[in-house]
Chain A
Amino acid sequence: MSSVTARLRYAKEGKVRWTSHRDAARIWERALRRAGLAVAYTEGFSPRPRLHFGLALPTGYESDVELLDVDLVEQPVVDDLPDRLTAALPVGFSVTSAAVLEGGEPSLQQDVTSCSWRIELREVSPTRAEGAVAAALAASSLLLARSRKGHETLDDLRPGILALCVETTTQDGPPVLLADLATQPRALRPSELLAACFPEVAEPIDITHRVRRTHQWIERDGARREPLPVPATSQTHALGACA
């Protein structure tokens, strides 16, 4: 069956940050039906709606930019999609942008090469934060034991840190880290960055700190850009961390 692929960009914030990536998938399936959008289904004994999610967001993180490709049976009215879908989603999920893909694009998981993160630090002083950032940037390598498929490996995180700084605008609040972290060949997670920078802070370091994904980046012709920009009116932070 012929279909068109719509790319949707959405934010996830507030209480719903405690839902998992799998939860979000079920929420989306229901929201598309509630919005009356006919999704294309897989063939076979147990047909599934054809939804293609981008990089998983760890449970507890917030995001300004989650991405989802949906195969639809009919050409949608693209301009209507954000409001129509936001109304069908739980409070905390809001669709900010939509487009129909031309076809032939790589999957989001393959295409995205890095993400920008905003990380509120708790139990860490501003001085300590500045020191840790300087040390990390100065280091030639930053080793952390990670486990993958049951095997412990000692990985160098340093090449995955594309940018790192302490946000300067905060006045009285907690210090905030801004980081651009690579997602290829293996994604560097904010939790891993923090574990390497602040080994003295208790687990689970990633969620007791408030973490927010602010951008996802793809590369085209040697330059990085967003897979689906938001409309110009709300485009305020298109520059990534530490720009």
Chain B
Amino acid sequence: MTLWPRLEPLLAKVQKPARYIGCEDGAIVPVHGPGKVSWLLVYPDTYEIGLPNQGLQILYEILNERDDAVAERAYAPWTDLDAELRHHGLPLFSVDSHRAASEFDLLAFNLSAELVYTNVLACVDLAGVPVRNEDRRDEHPLVAAGGHATFNPEPLAEYVDLFVIGEGEEVVSEITEVVREWTASGRPEGSRHQVLRRLAAVDGVYVPSMYDVTYDGPRLVAITPRYPDVPAQIVKRTVADLADWPYPKRQLVPLTEVVHDRLSVEVFRGCTRGCRFCQAGMITRPVRERPADQVRTMVREGLLRTGYDEVSLTSLSTADFSGIERVVAETVDSTGLCGPTSVSLPSLRVDAFTVGVAAQVARARRSGLTFAPEAGTWRLRSVINKLITEEDLYGAVDAAYSEGWSRMKLYFLTGLPTETDEDTLGIADLARQCVALGKRHTNRASLTVSLGGFVPKPHTPFQWFGQNTMAEMRRKVQLLRDATAKARGVQLKWHDPAASLVEGLASRGDRRVGRVIERVWRSGGTFQEWSEHFDLGRWEEAMAAEGLSMDWYVLRHRDEAEVLPWDHISAGLHKDFLWQDWQEALAEHGLEDCRWTPCYDCGVCTGYGLEHVVASPVAPAGGSQGTGQDLARGHVVPVELVSRREPVGVGAA
């Protein structure tokens, strides 16, 4: 039943009411009924952040194509509407038919980032469902979660009934079939436990209540299944061929402004560049390219259907896509489209950014250009395995300025393993050099340096690394501010180190951190990704109340023998491969791209019986990785590894 007549009067009192109306082109008219499993796909942040999420849209279409399923969408109401809903006794609702969340069989959350965890609890509570999974009864919806952050599900293990690890295209159908039997049975008393136990046996599904966790003081000892039919290790799901999944077929076109307000076409999944800080690159292996013909069809049909004048070709490193220049050229040249069409290429690596691509992109309307060297010196780039030389960067930047761009953005991380002040100051040198190159083409040449705080992530070689303290990150930011203060044309932006600290806690936390998240939510700490709502004090108070130590969880280096909270979750990567890669990092050894070099046996391809699916056996031009270039060149400065083991407190007694 629709809540719209009761909701609509509240929209008069809130900011951006168009967030809540639905009505997008591409939205379905949901038909509920017996025999249909109903999914509410929830993005636990605002509509304008969540609407463009491709993962959610893909599952929305796949589920709605099934005869036995119906899917609607919901987004976290902003604080103003949240207060109005609670004041008027109204629940979380879908934007498609404005139906109460509690009427669905599953509430399925997309977890793209860790700072949204408090919003997950807020949404479950607003739905009228108990926030802890142990308090839910047979009549309550199942609370599910998927997305990159679920590769360490433990911080939400007491709040989410089932996690999907990896790609959801296939597993949502398998879950639907299990849940359909449960709903058909009328959900008799005690059936909730039974359905969860059956779901725990579905490949890629993790049901945390089916596992026991043992500790020795602060140390995690083991996470073990409670029943013989529950797997000891949950292995991620991966679709073999993107060509089989040309989704979204009908991308949602919102009526109000959202981030990434353009057509998106995913050109490949996975990445074998092997950047050691990058969780996405590690957990989405192997590389699976979409056939170029399918890309062209999706671009053309998508533009005609949506009316967008911009298309983004998405992936973790789009310039690596085989034949990227041709796809871009054909998009810009498309006939039958009314008015100019532009292409945006997110996640450009400078080494593959050729003048040809720059020229093709520039023929249409120019959009922003961001390059990500990530670190200021060759030495540190060798540590993180972002093997681009200064010459690569200058070549790309020069190409872009010469093609008419006057400003661009360079993205760097601070707080990386083995980082010295020389590395930090190297960022300022690179930026100054880039602007100097730009001045040869235009007087208006300028550059924004964006500095993010490095947060070590599970399933990466840096998962053992102790994150920099807030004070250390702040010191480095200040160092760079001083170094760029007088650099004309260089603007510096940086991420709040306090938010990085909390992101570090949620990223590598164990099951005990869940109570901290619950306390922060109960104290009003929602929308922690938003600087105006983020409050470190709430987190510190909650940690103290739970007797847990931020130092122990976030700042401490781990050793090889330590049981990690995500050891029972497999991204297909061998743990000894990751440890070996961590040692290579400390030794400042880079590793070539395995698409064009022999296999390092990370475990993914062999484990899945897959090969990297690429359309061309030839490496892209201009690459320094895997293209026979000498990895030892660049500014190699032998640096002794300084131990960063600081005295740290010990957590829960």
- What residues make up the interface of A, taking CB atoms closer than 8 Å to B? 15-16, 18-20, 22-23, 26-27, 29-34, 36-39, 41, 45-47, 49, 59-60, 88, 90-92, 204, 207-208
Is the Cβ of A59 less than 8 Å from the Cβ of B339?
A: no
Q: For the complex, would chain B's binding face be called helix, strand, loop or mixed by DSSP majority?
A: loop
Is the Cβ of A88 less than 8 Å from the Cβ of B307?
A: yes
For the complex, what is the distance from the CA of A130 to the CA of B339, rounded to whole Å? 53
For the complex, what is the distance from the CA of A47 to the CA of B366, rounded to whole Å? 10
Known: A30-B306, A33-B307, A90-B255. A60 touches B339 (CB 8 A): no
30 pairs, A vs B, C-beta closer than 8 Å: A15-B4, A15-B21, A18-B17, A19-B18, A19-B255, A20-B18, A22-B257, A26-B257, A29-B309, A31-B307, A32-B307, A33-B339, A34-B306, A34-B307, A36-B338, A37-B338, A38-B338, A38-B339, A39-B339, A41-B339, A41-B340, A47-B365, A49-B339, A88-B307, A90-B23, A90-B25, A91-B23, A204-B12, A208-B9, A208-B12
Is the Cβ of A46 less than 8 Å from the Cβ of B18?
A: no
For the complex, what is the distance from the CA of A19 to the CA of B57, rounded to whole Å? 22
For the complex, what is the distance from the CA of A31 to the CA of B261, rounded to whole Å? 15
For the complex, what is the distance from the CA of A88 to the CA of B304, rounded to whole Å? 11
Chain A to chain B: the 10 pairs with minimum beta-carbon distance, closest first: A30-B307, A207-B12, A34-B307, A18-B17, A33-B307, A15-B21, A19-B18, A33-B338, A23-B256, A38-B338
Residue of B with least CB distance to A203: B13
Residue of B with least CB distance to A27: B255
Q: Counting CB contacts under 8 A, is B337 at the interface?
A: yes
Known: A23-B255, A90-B23, A204-B13. A39 touches B307 (CB 8 A): no
Residue-wise interface mask of B (412-427) relative to A, using a CB-CB cutoff of 8 A (1 in contact, 0 not): 0000000000000000
Q: Counting CB contacts under 8 A, is B11 at the interface?
A: yes
Q: Counting CB contacts under 8 A, is B603 at the interface?
A: no
Is the Cβ of A60 less than 8 Å from the Cβ of B17?
A: yes
For the complex, what is the distance from the CA of A29 to the CA of B13, rounded to whole Å? 28
For the complex, what is the distance from the CA of A243 to the CA of B254, rounded to whole Å? 40
Min Cβ gap A24→B in Å is 9
For the complex, what is the distance from the CA of A91 to the CA of B261, rounded to whole Å? 20
Q: Contacts A26-B257, A30-B307, A39-B338 given; 18 further ones with Cβ under 8 A?
A: A15-B4, A15-B22, A18-B17, A18-B18, A18-B20, A19-B21, A20-B256, A23-B256, A34-B305, A34-B307, A38-B339, A39-B339, A46-B366, A59-B18, A90-B25, A90-B255, A207-B12, A208-B12
Is the Cβ of A19 less than 8 Å from the Cβ of B256?
A: yes
Chain B interface residue count, CB cutoff 8 Å, equals 30
For the complex, what is the distance from the CA of A128 to the CA of B451, rounded to whole Å? 61
Residue of B with least CB distance to A205: B12
Q: Counting CB contacts under 8 A, is B411 at the interface?
A: no
Interface residues of B in 297-324 (CB under 8 A from A): 304-309
Q: Counting CB contacts under 8 A, is B361 at the interface?
A: no
Q: Counting CB contacts under 8 A, is B253 at the interface?
A: yes
Residue-wise interface mask of B (1-43) relative to A, using a CB-CB cutoff of 8 A (1 in contact, 0 not): 0001000010111000110111111000000000000000000
For the complex, what is the distance from the CA of A27 to the CA of B253, rounded to whole Å? 9
